[in-house]
Structure 1
Amino acid sequence: MARTIMLIPVGAGVGVTSVSLGMVRAMERNGVSVNFFKPIAQPKGRNEGPERSTAIIRNATDIIPPEPFSQSHAESLIGSNREDDLLEAIVERFNNGTTGSEIVVVEGLVPTSESPYANSLNYGIAKALDADMVFVTNPANDTSQQLKERMEIACNNFGGLKNKRIIGCIINKVGAPIDESEITRPDLTEMFDSKNANYANLEVLQMFGKSPLRILGCIPWNAPLIAPRARDLATHLNATIINEGDMNTRLGRVTFCARSIPNMIEHFGAGSLLVTSGDRSDVIVSACLAAMNGVKVGALLLTGGYQPEETVLKLCERAFETGLPVMLIKTNTWQTSLAMQSFNTEIPADDTYRINLVQDYVAGHIDKHWIESLTSTSARPRRLSPPAFRYKLTEMARTANRRIVLPEGEEPRTIAAAAVCAERGIARPVLLGDPEQIHRIAKQQGVVLGDNVEILDPLQTRDKFVAPMVELRKNKGLTEVVAREQLEDNVVLGTMMLACDSVDGLVSGAINTTANTIRPALQLIKTAPGYNLVSSIFFMLLPDQVLVYGDCAINPDPTADQLADIAIQSADSATAFGIEPRVAMISYSTGSSGKGSDVDKVREATKLAQERRPDLVIDGPLQYDAAIMENVAKSKAPNSPVAGKATVFVFPDLNTGNTTYKAVQRSADLISIGPMLQGMNKPVNDLSRGALVDDIVYTIALTAIQSAQRIE
């Protein structure tokens, strides 16, 4: 039976939805089968759409939560003195909708003037579902003593401090900007005078010493988590779109352009929403010039209903092509400022990027030991879920603390990824490139390169690696002149840095081909002892587990002997990253049913791999469906130790492997991490040229972990 944790908000504005999201992510990170249930929908204002928390969970995760009851239905039953019927229906829906889950996170009603029955009903639901209760609160303007007293009063509404169902509290929005009415006021615009903003007193952290309840989480305010998309603001203001551009651009601040251009230039930064009257052609053209020079201006909002002149729009066409959103509204600047103060900063249900940011951030501030204790006695075998795998990667990389060189140091995605890695402690990135150019590109993107991002100018670095390279390749007749020429390529330079142990790993490929990344490594780094070839794997993040695919990037048509090596390398890589290896050697035939040279090769490779590593669970040949589906395995390979539960899939050739991984990734809309190269003496990893910033971050993490494991 599932253990149920009910989050009970102590007042409005505590951010219970964000805490729910973080709780779900924290459970997923721990490999727990988790579900979510909001028993009663609680629409805000005139919102008549689907219940927000449930919609967010459904859109951003693989969880399918039960549908909540409508608030009107609940109020009807409560008003008819039929609360018991309501609770019975809630239990029925809970049981039917959460079967198979180990943990269910239940989100309680927010007590408001429109729902005075919230506390009573929350307590009734907690008892009906046999749920442990966790209070969610925020400090507002309270001192630690006032917050302590507030929590004691809250406990009194739920049976008092002696109630064993009450297991703790989570304090959210610590340090949030609060106005005189104790309403959270994010400093998005210059309208909010920071001198008058009353930021929550961090003295509340003394609660850790005096809280009547165990504090299970303390979540600091983080302004970037509320950054809306341009499309969200356009919807709120009912704006007319003059140039759509990238409407998913994040808006970090708002500037009202009422001054002369020289006095506003400093505000034309990445993520800035520039608000100006539609007849201010000087501002429009200046903003467009900034965009054409690489500054990622968030959006341009034109007020007063003034449509820019056609000649101005014509002049700005190239700037519009950079993705700059331009919107027009009828209200004047003052009316616009008032409308923006009422902007709802809650997460839209379709903003999966922001939802994931919030989930990861909140999960990182919830007591890890408490999360682990919830299922410490569970007998269910753990499957490494995608969130658990990504979390494991970052934690292992932080522990490794490795120096990773990025030869494509002037590439914008690489610069952004380096900043993320440094900020999160995933690695110590080294960018190769012109420092002035790197800083310029970073500024244009709004990326802050902290002290932990190292920038090396190749012009000042190459000379020290000429002699070592000549020595390393002297048997191949390499001369100093040719070595200098080859070191002009930053990938070669980065590889020499790795060969000389100046760095711990290398990641390239955002703008270079796979061959350009791997060839220098094969020449200068070579294969690891005991390995005869280099191969690759992808980590395929399925909804409920992570699979390993190999080789999908390097060897076009491996022999049986090479295929056996690929299987062993892939199994060892799976083990290194917390995945129990059950290796399926994939073919078009299962067992002894098929004939032909292709299936014979797989059969021979299976035999060789089993002989070389009897400690591994390897079987083949297996068709893909027999390897992954238990019902197919029972009929096609009933005695196989791998069929139906394979975690490592070894494909017979590059054509099959690459096609399969891309088909699965694109058709099922999955995340894949890789390729990760294996068999190299030191870690070198290749990127897809279409890699996103997150792809580069996780590849850097993989590389750091490989380096640490090589040394161990």
Structure 2
Amino acid sequence: MATRIYITSAEGHTGKSTVALGVLEALTRTVGRVGVFRPVSRSADERDSILDLLRAHASVDLPYEECVGVSYDDVHADADAALGTIVSRFAAIERACDVVVIVGSDYTDVGTPTELSFNARVATNLGAPVLLVLGGRSPADGAARTPGEIAQVADVTTSELRALHAALLGVVVNRADPDALERTNEVVGRAIAAHHAGAPVWTIPEDAVLVAPTVRALLAATGATLIRGDESLLDREAMGTVIAGMSMENVLPRLIEGAIVVVAGDRNDVLIATVLAHASETFPSVAGVILIGGFEQLPQIQRLLEGLPSSLPIARTDLGTYDTALRITQTRGRLAVESPRKAQLALSLFEKHVDADVLQERLQVTPSQVVTPLMFERQLLDRARASRTRIVLPEGDDDRILTAAATLLQRDVCALTILGEPTTVRARASELGLDIEAAELVDPQHSPLRERFADEYARLRAHRGMTVELAHDTVADVSYFGTMMVQFGYADGMVSGAKHTTAHTIRPAFEIIKTRPGTSVVSSVFLMALADRVLVYGDCAVIPDPTSDQLADIAISSAETAAQFGIDPRVAMLSYSTGDSGTGADVDKVRQATAFVRERRPEMLVEGPIQYDAAADPTVAATKMPDSPVAGRATVFIFPDLNTGNNTYKAVQRSAGAVAIGPVLQGLRKPINDLSRGALVRDIVNTVAITAIQAATTDGTGASR
């Protein structure tokens, strides 16, 4: 039987979905198969956006229809019959899961004890303890509640749960006054103690970004059409509204950071002034402009806007001032699959304010013996967070880098230095609605470190004719500057390559960082996260045709990389034949490399030459190499050449649905890692986490700590 947790509230607009997202994230770190279930969804015809969001973060990929119990109409028609259907549908979904996160109804009707009672009945019948979410603000008018007012809601609600025989796992007060977190914990804890002794209370503060609607949502609400600007900026949160129904000189002082500005379509002076103010360093960066009244823009105004250096979204609606303002105020921000920045912020708040270890202990969750891709990625972030390292990102002019940086900072994964012209980087981050204030911004062109780096680079490359004057220009390049920061200890590692070639990223590392003692080559591995375990493949990205000696270095480095990431290294030196069954130059190279590994690392478990099936499949291994401690159980696969390695990792990635994390460079004294130019934000986050772990587990020479 799967472990269950039922997340519910006593009223609407508590931010229950943010808590559910945090619970899912915490569970997927330690449990292999985590699913999500919605006993009551809004209607049979309307897709549930919260369920879509949570399904995207769950580790079990179940069809949407299987994750829904009944609709509100079903409950209103016959509550008892609806309950029976819910129990039946849940029984089907739990068979596929180790843990199921059950998310209660949304109080789309007027919140009444009847709805809470039904949620409690569902929780009791599913045998799921309740994690109760209380709102720190009134759902009626959004006014902040005092700790005492929240405690009153807690007292009534938990009393009702007890009367209906629902077990209380804990209480989360969400959207609370940031200045009263401890007091809220204390007062609410006392209020529930009489009904549920020992149940913990956690309090998450209000964050304006989570409740702010995006520009895209406001355009949809007002029926506005984008006529100019960068569409990618529509996902920025609108942090306020400015109704620009006055003259230009009176509008400008009223602009606020992140505002949506509502301008009459025939007030071109106000429009132009707003666009110029947005582009200026001396005014706030607004989120967008909605032109009201449906007026067509004059050709000369269009030409003028085209000549301005601004990507600010400008949209047009036929509505007037009152209707536009009303629809804007009625639009609420929500977590959804299409708002990943909100999701990352929600996860960050949950991690900082809810003790996930206590939560799982009360749930009596047994850690999984397998390691899924989601588990591995979560564990990477946890280990990187514990490392307290600083990583430099040279490509501050790339939106993906800025988005990943905001995620890493929000989740407190590591400290960051971003290279680029600070004003430009901040302005672009602000346009994207990203918070990178905690990052250090450094401009290589004007940094006082440039002179020191030039002197050192000239010294290191003097044998190649490098002068200080030439070095001064070279180290201004972001890859060289970032590498120098790592060399001098201003950063612990570097991640680059989103906009630059692999050669541009790693050439400075070869010249400056250099290989660690005892290693002749820099190579790479991919961490291949399969459905139930993580394997290491090397080398798949750097050395085209390694010699026996280089192949041995790759094997030793790959085994050490595996150990860094909690993978017990059992090394298979791959070839087209196993043991003594084949001859030829290619097999002999692998045989010789295996001998070198055993000579240099006698304690290492290594087998070769060996075919892939004999290395990976216990049944084949029992026939071909029955006495080998590696055959059938290999975790580190060393390919004889780049052609084989690169094609194999891609074949496994596509055919087996594996998540390929990498390439991870190895053999350097300090960690430098390369990104694919097609890297997604998720790839960048993972690579930074890997680099942070490498930095924390090796010393300045590249040796393991």
TM-score (norm 1): 0.80
- Confirm or deny: 8 A CA contact 2:372 2:529 kept in the other structure: no
Which residue number corresponds to residue 552 of structure 1?
540
Aligned partner (choices 204, 207, 222) of residue 187 of structure 2: 207
Can you list the C-alpha shifts for 1:377-411, whole angstroms capped at 9, x where unaligned?
Answer: 7374141542x434433333333333444445666
Aligned partner (choices 206, 225, 235) of residue 210 of structure 2: 225
Q: 1:504 to 1:137 in 2, by over 3 A?
A: same
Deviates more, 1:271-280 or 1:689-698: 689-698
- Confirm or deny: 8 A CA contact 1:59 1:350 kept in the other structure: no
1:144 aligns with 2:166: no
1:28 CA drift (Å)? 0.7
3-state SS of paired residue (2:290): strand
Consecutive unaligned residues in structure 1, runs of 5 or more = 177-198
- Confirm or deny: 8 A CA contact 1:538 1:550 kept in the other structure: yes
- Confirm or deny: 8 A CA contact 1:384 1:579 kept in the other structure: no
Aligned partner (choices 95, 112, 119) of residue 99 of structure 1: 95
Which residue number corresponds to residue 518 of structure 2?
530
Q: 1:360 to 1:508 in 2, by over 3 A?
A: same
1:565 aligns with 2:553: yes
How far apart, in 2, do the equivalents of 1:633 and 1:209 lie?
A: 58
How far apart, in 2, do the equivalents of 1:154 and 1:289 lie?
A: 52
Q: 1:496 to 1:62 in 2, by over 3 A?
A: closer
Which residue number corresponds to residue 442 of structure 2?
455
Can you list the C-alpha shifts for 1:195-236, whole angstroms capped at 9, x where unaligned?
Answer: xxxx99984243366352523532222222344443332322
Which residue number corresponds to residue 23 of structure 1?
23
The aligned amino acid for 1:237 is T
How far apart, in 2, do the equivalents of 1:562 and 1:354 lie?
A: 46
3-state SS of paired residue (2:41): coil
Which residue number corresponds to residue 304 of structure 1?
293
Which residue number corresponds to residue 305 of structure 2?
316
Which residue number corresponds to residue 222 of structure 2?
237
Deviates more, 1:484-493 or 1:340-349: 484-493
How far apart, in 1, do the equivalents of 2:174 and 2:2 lie?
A: 26
How far apart, in 2, do the equivalents of 1:328 and 1:335 lie?
A: 14
The aligned amino acid for 1:674 is G
1:678 CA drift (Å)? 0.9
Aligned partner (choices 330, 333, 337) of residue 345 of structure 1: 333
Q: 1:59 to 1:691 in 2, by over 3 A?
A: closer
Can you list the C-alpha shifts for 1:344-363, whole angstroms capped at 9, x where unaligned?
Answer: 32334554554454345435
1:338 CA drift (Å)? 0.7
How far apart, in 1, do the equivalents of 2:434 and 2:88 lie?
A: 50
RMSD: 4.3
3-state SS of paired residue (1:378): coil
Task: Report how many aligned residue pairs link the two structures.
Answer: 679
How far apart, in 2, do the equivalents of 1:291 and 1:651 lie?
A: 54
How far apart, in 2, do the equivalents of 1:95 and 1:549 lie?
A: 40
Which residue number corresponds to residue 702 of structure 2?
none
Which residue number corresponds to residue 495 of structure 2?
507
Which residue number corresponds to residue 129 of structure 1?
126
3-state SS of paired residue (1:306): coil
The aligned amino acid for 1:150 is V
1:145 CA drift (Å)? 3.6
Q: 1:330 to 1:646 in 2, by over 3 A?
A: farther
3-state SS of paired residue (2:668): coil
Aligned partner (choices 155, 158, 161) of residue 158 of structure 2: 155
Q: 1:693 to 1:346 in 2, by over 3 A?
A: closer
3-state SS of paired residue (1:69): strand
1:250 CA drift (Å)? 1.4
The aligned amino acid for 2:236 is R
3-state SS of paired residue (2:67): coil
3-state SS of paired residue (1:704): helix
How far apart, in 1, do the equivalents of 2:185 and 2:367 lie?
A: 37
- Confirm or deny: 8 A CA contact 1:303 1:329 kept in the other structure: yes
Aligned partner (choices 175, 178, 193) of residue 177 of structure 2: 175
TM-score (norm 2): 0.81
Which residue number corresponds to residue 367 of structure 1?
355
- Confirm or deny: 8 A CA contact 2:251 2:270 kept in the other structure: no
3-state SS of paired residue (2:132): strand
Q: 1:641 to 1:61 in 2, by over 3 A?
A: farther
- Confirm or deny: 8 A CA contact 2:605 2:629 kept in the other structure: yes
Which residue number corresponds to residue 196 of structure 1?
none
Which residue number corresponds to residue 396 of structure 1?
383
How far apart, in 1, do the equivalents of 2:575 and 2:277 lie?
A: 55
How far apart, in 2, do the equivalents of 1:263 and 1:625 lie?
A: 75
How far apart, in 2, do the equivalents of 1:343 and 1:534 lie?
A: 54
The aligned amino acid for 1:118 is E
How far apart, in 2, do the equivalents of 1:285 and 1:482 lie?
A: 45
Which residue number corresponds to residue 237 of structure 2?
251
3-state SS of paired residue (1:316): helix
Q: Please give the residue correspondences for 1:32-181 in structure 2 after superposition, counting only pairs within 5 Å.
A: 32-43=32-43, 48-63=45-60, 64=62, 66-78=67-79, 83=80, 86-110=82-106, 112-113=109-110, 117-140=114-137, 141-159=144-162, 165-175=167-177
Q: 1:88 to 1:209 in 2, by over 3 A?
A: closer
Consecutive unaligned residues in structure 2, runs of 5 or more = 138-143, 700-704
How far apart, in 2, do the equivalents of 1:26 and 1:70 lie?
A: 28
Can you list the C-alpha shifts for 1:324-355, whole angstroms capped at 9, x where unaligned?
Answer: 54332221112111111211323345545544
How far apart, in 1, do the equivalents of 2:384 and 2:152 lie?
A: 42
The aligned amino acid for 2:156 is I
- Confirm or deny: 8 A CA contact 2:189 2:201 kept in the other structure: no
How far apart, in 1, do the equivalents of 2:580 and 2:412 lie?
A: 50
- Confirm or deny: 8 A CA contact 1:42 1:71 kept in the other structure: yes
1:687 aligns with 2:687: no
- Confirm or deny: 8 A CA contact 1:535 1:554 kept in the other structure: yes
Deviates more, 1:553-562 or 1:528-537: 553-562
Q: 1:399 to 1:411 in 2, by over 3 A?
A: same
